[in-house]
Amino acid sequence: MGGVTGWCVGFLFQKVGKLAATAVGGGFLPLQIASLSGYVQINWKRVEKVVKKGKKIKKRANKTAPGINNIIEEAAEFVKQNIVISSEFVGGFWLGLAS
C-alpha cells in the first residue's frame, strides 16, 4: 500500500516539477529579455516596500500561528508509529521519481 502510494506521488511530483520548471523558465526568459531591451522597467522602491510589508506580515503570522515545529513533530511521530508503511512510501516515491 505504501509503496504504490509512494510511486504515484513520486511520478506526479516528477511530472509537475518538470512542468513548473518549464513554466517558470519560459516566463522568466522573455521577461528578462524585455527588461534588458528597455520594454519593461522595474520600480525597485515599490518592490522594496512590498518586501518590507511581507516581512511584517510574516512576523505577525509567526506570533499568532502555531508554527511549523508542531507540524514537523507530528509528522515525525506518525513516521515512528508507522515505520513499515513510511519506508514503503519512501521507496515507492523514489521509484516513481526515477521513472
Long-range CB contacts for residues 30-39, cutoff 8 Å, separation at least 24:
none
C-alpha cell at 55: 516581512
Percentage of the residues of the chain whose pLDDT score is greater than 90: 7
Domain coordinates in residue numbering, the chain? 2-98
The residue-averaged pLDDT of 69-80 equals: 82
DSSP 23: H
**Predicted TM-score of the model (pTM):** 0.50
43: left (phi over 0), alpha (psi -120 to 50) or beta: beta
What are 19-59's pLDDT values in tens digits?
888 888 888 888 888 888 888 887 889 989 999 998 888 77
